[in-house]
Amino acid sequence: MKAIDVHVHPSTKAFDREAIWGKEALKSFYSYYKIEPKITTDEEMAEEFRQLDLKALLIGWDAESVSGTDTSHTNDEVARLIRKFPDVFIGGWAMIDPWKGKAAIKELERCVKELGLMGLKFQPPAQAFFPNDRRFYPLYEKCVELKIPVAFHSGFTGFGAGSPGGHGIHLKYARPIPHIDDVAADFPELTIIMIHPAWPWHEEQIAILLHKANVFADLSGWAPKYFPESLRREINGRLQDKFMFGSDYPDIPPKRWLSEFESGGYKPEVVEKVLYKNARRILNIKV
């Protein structure tokens, strides 16, 4: 095994973004990043990771209260892919609309106890909520009870990028301080993952990683050659035990991410930690 990719969006038909996000939001996303839509079969997707000798954690999607689109099937689809290709897909993040209240907590229990998913992921800009809003604290309390990690998108988002008004998306929901920092302080037993380098607030992200022992980060969503210099320094230095490899597949090909990171001047022991050792420890992955 070369690496563990902790941030993978399925590219199969069940996750067709035009159906999930809406045509206009999808159009602006692909235009902004100059990439093409990608839909594969189950087998084609699994084979991409198998050929690279990668294990992967898959992610569901649910922002129904904001989008109006029923995406309740996506957590089940993640679980189905894991069952179908256990040699490649070794776990999954449930994504649950936090505005669903008690139903969200019930869905979380189902995802963990029945589907076998290993964590809960949020996309605050797409779901239009501040993580430190105490109305959502019962979800974190349930995560502590279930002994699972929580992951929050942080920093800039490609969702709505480049469109007038950003497709109604507010970036403020993804600022690390105070929103993620508050949750980390209020739930010291909760393992928290900040998703993506949190530009333009990556210095706040670094501060939280230094200050809160229960907070970590994945490096998905950015090609490594574009990492801010302060982030590169921390990855290679005092925070080398805090970061994990994530590609944000299919938008960033894992092969490209790995090539740029491995040639980025990082110490050999740091490369090993980021690619798989940290994920094993932080997420209790047994591979």
pLDDT band, residue 38 (cuts 50/70/90)? confident
> At 99, which amino acid appears?
W
The CATH number covering residue 24 comes to 3.20.20.140
Ranking 25-34, 41-50, 151-160, 193-202 by mean pLDDT, the lowest is 25-34
pLDDT at 200 over 90: yes
> At 57, which amino acid appears?
L
* Distance (Å, whole) CA 208 – CA 155: 14
How high is the pLDDT of residue 16?
81
Q: Which is it for the CA torsion 281, 282, 285, 287, positive or negative?
A: negative
pLDDT band, residue 26 (cuts 50/70/90)? confident
Q: Could you tell me what percentage of the chain is helix, strand and coil, using 3-state DSSP and rounding each to the nearest 5?
A: 50, 15, 35
Which residue in this structure is represented by tokens 């990492």? 227
Over the chain, what is the mean pLDDT?
Answer: 95
Assess contact for 41 and 167: CB atoms under 8 A. Answer: no
> At 30, which amino acid appears?
Y
pLDDT at 202 over 90: yes
Q: Please tell me the total count of domains within the chain.
A: 1
pLDDT at 20 over 80: no
* Distance (Å, whole) CA 97 – CA 116: 19
User: Can you tell me the mean pLDDT for 12-18?
Assistant: 83
* Distance (Å, whole) CA 58 – CA 92: 4
User: Can you tell me the mean pLDDT for 71-100?
Assistant: 96
Give residues with Cβ within 8 angstroms of 92, minimum separation 6. Answer: 57, 58, 59, 60, 75, 78, 79, 81, 82, 115, 117, 118, 119
Q: What is the pLDDT of residues 163-198, one digit of tens each?
A: 889 889 999 999 999 999 999 999 999 999 999 999
Ranking 13-27, 51-65, 180-194 by mean pLDDT, the lowest is 13-27
Q: Which of 271, 246, 274, 277 is nearest to 57 (CA)?
A: 246
User: Can you tell me the mean pLDDT for 54-64?
Assistant: 96
How high is the pLDDT of residue 32?
78
Q: Which of 131, 123, 70, 67 is nearest to 94 (CA)?
A: 123
Ranking 20-29, 42-51, 232-241, 254-263 by mean pLDDT, the lowest is 20-29
Q: Which domain holds residue 86?
A: 3-283
* Distance (Å, whole) CA 244 – CA 233: 15
Ranking 35-49, 133-147, 252-266 by mean pLDDT, the lowest is 35-49
How high is the pLDDT of residue 269?
98
Q: What is the pLDDT of residues 222-242, one digit of tens each?
A: 999 999 999 999 999 999 999
Tokens of residue 29, six digits: 């996303």
**pTM > 0.75:** yes
* Distance (Å, whole) CA 159 – CA 139: 24
Assess contact for 160 and 190: CB atoms under 8 A. Answer: no
Q: Which of 79, 34, 88 is nearest to 60 (CA)?
A: 79
User: Can you tell me the mean pLDDT for 98-122?
Assistant: 98
217 φ/ψ sector (left φ>0, alpha ψ -120 to 50, else beta): beta
pLDDT band, residue 101 (cuts 50/70/90)? very high
* Distance (Å, whole) CA 192 – CA 119: 10
What is each CA distance from 208 to 79, 100, 230, 283, in whole angstroms?
Answer: 32, 29, 14, 19
pLDDT band, residue 214 (cuts 50/70/90)? very high
How high is the pLDDT of residue 33?
77
How high is the pLDDT of residue 17?
76
